[in-house]
Every structure is written in C-alpha cells, then in structure tokens.
Amino acid sequence: MIREILGFREKIVKIGLPALISNAVIVLWGFFSILIIRILPEETYAAYAIARSIQIFAVMFGGSFIMNSIVKHISEGDTDREKKISNAGILLSMITAGFVAIVLLFSGNLIQSFYSDIDLTGIPLVLAILVVTSTASTLPRNCLVARHKTLQIMYSDIASILVRIITICVFILTHSLNSPVQIFGAIIASNITSLLVCLYFARNDMDLSLGFEKEHVFMLFRFSLILLGAGLANSIYTKTDILILGKMASNAETAGYSACQTLTSLMVNINVASKIVMLPLLSRMWQSKENRRNVIRRVMGAIILINLLQIPVVILFAGFPRQTLHLLYSGKYDGASAILMVLGLLALVRVFGSQFSNLSVAMGKPSYPLYSLIVSAFFNIALNIILIPDYGAFGAVIATVIAVTLGSASVVFLTTRYCRSHISAI
C-alpha cells in the first residue's frame, strides 16, 4: 500500500495539493476566527456559537444533503446525461433552499423564546440569506469537484475567504465588531464571490439549455434522502452538544467548548479536502470491476496520509492544551484545556469514519453512514442529557468521544463487509 501511494505521488500532488491548499485557506479563516473570539464578549460569542449550530442544520436541510448525490452521479461520466443530472440537482437544491429560508424567517420568535437569555436579534434573516447563497455557490463547485478541477476550486476558495476576512477586518478596524450578524454577513459576501468564480470556471461543464429528466430528479431525491438522514445524524452528534450546553450550562462553558471545537475543526478541513479527491475517484473505481479490488487499499492510503498531516497539530493540542489556549485566547478559556486535549486526540479516530463513509457513498450504499450515525446520534444526545448537568462541557466532550468512536467503527465494519462480498463475487 505504501508503494502504491508513492507510485501515485504525481497525481496526489497534481490533484490533492490544490485541494489541500484550498482547505488550508479555509483553515486560515479558522485562525482568523480565533481573533474574533478574542474580541467578542462571552455572551456575544455564545450567541454566535448557538447561531452557528442552527446554521449547520439549516444549510444541510437547505440543499447540502443533495450535494454528495450530485457529485457521485455526475462524476461517473462526461456526457449530456451527467449535465442533465446536474441541472436536476440545481432545481432540487434551490427549491429546498428556498423552503428552509422561509421557515427560518417565520421561526425567529420561537428560536429567541427558547434561548431567552441569549440575544439572537437578526439571526433568522441572515441565516435565511446564508442558506440560499451557500446552496447556490456549492452547485457549480460540484461540477468542478466531479471533474477533479481542484486548481480552479482552490482559486475560488482563496477569493471567497479573502472577501470574508477583509469584510471582518473592516469591522475590527472601525471598532464596530459586536454582533454575530456581522460575521454571517461576511460569510454571505464570500458565498456570492465563490458562486461567481465557480460559475466562470464551470461554464463548460454545465449546460442549462439541456434541461433535465424527471427520472433524474427522483433518482437524486431518493439517494439524497438517505444522505439527509446521515447528514442529520452527523449534525446531531456534532452540534447538539453546543445547543444543549447553551440551554443547560453557563455562557462561559458554552463559549469555551465552542472555542475548542473551532480549533479542532481546523483538522476536519483535511478530511474535507480529501473528499474532493476521494469521492469522485472511488466512484469511478467502483464502476470498474478491475479497479474495484483496490478501493479499500486506496481508502487506507488516504487515512495514512491524513493522519500524517494531522499528527503535528494533534501533538500540539493533546500535549500542550493549556498553553495553546492561553496563547491564542489570552487566558480567557484556559479552563477548557481538557476539552481541547480530548478533541485533539479524537481527530485520529474521526478520519476512519469520514473516509469509509466516502467509500460507502461511492459504492451506492449511503445507508451505511446513516445507520452508523443514527447509533452515534442516539448515544450522543442521551449522554449529553445525562452528563452535561453534572459535568458541564467535559460531559459533552465525553459524549462526543463515545459517539464518534461508535459511528466510525460501525461504518468501517458495514462498508468493509459489503465491499469484500462484492469483490469476491467478481
């Protein structure tokens, strides 16, 4: 397997390096978020953390659950059929995004009443706009992902993040950064930038004049429903801890936990970068009986590479958590050092679930991530409710560890068993 990785090093550099740079730029936004956390008061950052968690669910229901289905199907060829599938995906995604945006606009009072101690003024409106712009910007990007045009994706992400950072810098320099609405406004501006850049680069990979076939809409919808379940379960076990902490714990604990999540999410971006490369690649390999035998080796090779890239950051977070938090947040969240240590180590486990989920989707079995994440979500919610009242943020991180470990183990088992049975039948 190591020899195979070395044999593909030129492709890894040509395709994977731009994808890694692309997500390194997104990591730059993660580091910039540290500055935002330092500036915002705890109660304001707690409001941002709650709104951010709501945003994850809103964007997922607003069309992101359809995106992996689109990438899988349009990466299988380069004909008019794939372009029609892309058009069907555009229609389906924008309809769901519009529906979710309307729901957000009419649910503002309900959200505010639930979090009565946290000011969420203006949040529903900006989240509604964010859902629509996020979905729209992802659609042409999917065409670039399916064609492994990672260099163009890199240009788009660089432009997008620069707009986001410049917008926030204006607020900081004018001493006016005091609301989560301003941060989401910067993200909306970056979404629009990404949309324009991706549309330019994907202009030859899209053809709206071809229209779409009804069967393509139903095909994407059926496939996406399973991915929605998987995405929902994933969001439940990654974001409900923040939502429950916001209700059952202090603002300080909620903000400290969210600050640690922000740091460790920098490593999650490596998994996101690998998905740009791995999902289209594994989809093509699975379509070929000759290449199908090598898919598990290819997945394990990706896991090795990702963990090698993560090791220095894991050592920093797990070995020197208090020093890291003190340096980055000027002592504001030193009490969350145990949380940072645990979440840092957890990144080495999370990669297994992420990569084998890619393989299961490529094989046409998106139900496997769904099954594993349902189990994870159940344990996470139950343990959060049990542990948070007595142990606060540390109880939330223990619940996350158990949920992630169970989810990763189950998707690895299910995917490997299915893969080997179909390989032996060749």
Phi, psi for residue 184 in degrees, rounded to 5: -65, -30
Give me 372's structure tokens. 């594993």
Could you tell me how far CA 133 lies from the centroid of its own chain?
A: 16
Pick the more confident residue, 228 or 25.
25
DSSP output for 165-193: HHHHHHHHHTT----HHHHHHHHHHHHHH
Give pLDDT, residue 17: 67
The per-residue pLDDT for range 68-120, each reduced to its tens digit, is 778 777 776 777 888 888 888 888 889 989 999 999 888 877 877 777 777 77
Give pLDDT, residue 3: 59
Average pLDDT, the chain: 80
DSSP output for 40-78: S-HHHHHHHHHHHHHHHHHHIIIIIHHHHHHHHHHTT--
* CA 325 – CA 317 distance, rounded (Å): 9
Question: Environment class of residue 3 by beta-carbon count within 10 Å: exposed (0-12), middle (13-18) or buried (19+)?
Answer: exposed
Give me 152's structure tokens. 């163009």
Give me 274's structure tokens. 């690998």
Q: Give the three-class secondary structure for 332.
A: coil
Pick the more confident residue, 170 or 71.
170
Does the pLDDT of residue 172 top 60, yes or no? yes
Give pLDDT, residue 231: 55
Could you tell me how far CA 424 lies from the centroid of its own chain?
A: 34
Q: Which domain holds residue 275?
A: 2-424
Does the pLDDT of residue 399 top 80, yes or no? yes
Q: Give the three-class secondary structure for 119.
A: coil
Give me 412's structure tokens. 């690895």
Single-letter code of the amino acid located at 235: S
Give me 233's structure tokens. 């379960």
* CA 323 – CA 77 distance, rounded (Å): 50
Average pLDDT over residues 358-372: 81
Does the pLDDT of residue 1 top 70, yes or no? no
Does the pLDDT of residue 26 top 60, yes or no? yes
pTM of the model: 0.62
Query: How many domains does one find in the chain?
Result: 1
Give pLDDT, residue 207: 81
Q: Give the three-class secondary structure for 213.
A: coil
Give pLDDT, residue 190: 92
Single-letter code of the amino acid located at 306: I
**CA angle (114 as vertex; 131, 60 as ends), nearest 5:** 25
Give pLDDT, residue 248: 72
Distances in Å between the Cα of 234 and the Cα atoms of 57, 119, 239, 301 are 10, 27, 8, 24
* CA 320 – CA 338 distance, rounded (Å): 10
Give pLDDT, residue 193: 93
* Terminal alpha carbon distance of the chain: 22
Q: Are 279 and 302 in contact (CB under 8 A)?
A: no
Range scoring the smallest mean pLDDT among 9-23, 57-71, 206-220, 260-274: 9-23
Q: In the chain, pLDDT over 70 holds for what percent of residues?
A: 87
* CA 137 – CA 32 distance, rounded (Å): 22
Single-letter code of the amino acid located at 294: N
The per-residue pLDDT for range 126-144, each reduced to its tens digit, is 999 999 999 898 888 888 8
Could you tell me how far CA 406 lies from the centroid of its own chain?
A: 19
Average pLDDT over residues 176-197: 89
Those residues whose C-beta lies under 8 Å from the C-beta of residue 214, and which sit 6 or more positions away, are none
Average pLDDT over residues 60-64: 76
Residue 335 DSSP class: G
Q: Are 168 and 206 in contact (CB under 8 A)?
A: no
Element counts in the chain: helices (H) and strands (E)? 17, 0
Taken as a whole, the chain contains a residue count of 426
* CA 5 – CA 227 distance, rounded (Å): 30
Average pLDDT over residues 269-278: 71
* CA 307 – CA 271 distance, rounded (Å): 10
Does the pLDDT of residue 197 top 60, yes or no? yes
Residue whose token pair is 């990706």: 302
* CA 241 – CA 236 distance, rounded (Å): 8
Give pLDDT, residue 371: 79
Pick the more confident residue, 68 or 184.
184
The per-residue pLDDT for range 380-395, each reduced to its tens digit, is 888 888 888 888 888 8
* CA 411 – CA 186 distance, rounded (Å): 36
Q: Are 335 and 377 in contact (CB under 8 A)?
A: no
Give pLDDT, residue 153: 84
Does the pLDDT of residue 229 top 60, yes or no? no
* CA 174 – CA 299 distance, rounded (Å): 48
The per-residue pLDDT for range 296-348, each reduced to its tens digit, is 888 888 888 888 888 888 999 989 999 988 887 777 778 888 888 998 898 88
Q: Are 324 and 380 in contact (CB under 8 A)?
A: no
Q: In the chain, pLDDT over 90 holds for what percent of residues?
A: 7
Q: Give the three-class secondary structure for 8.
A: coil
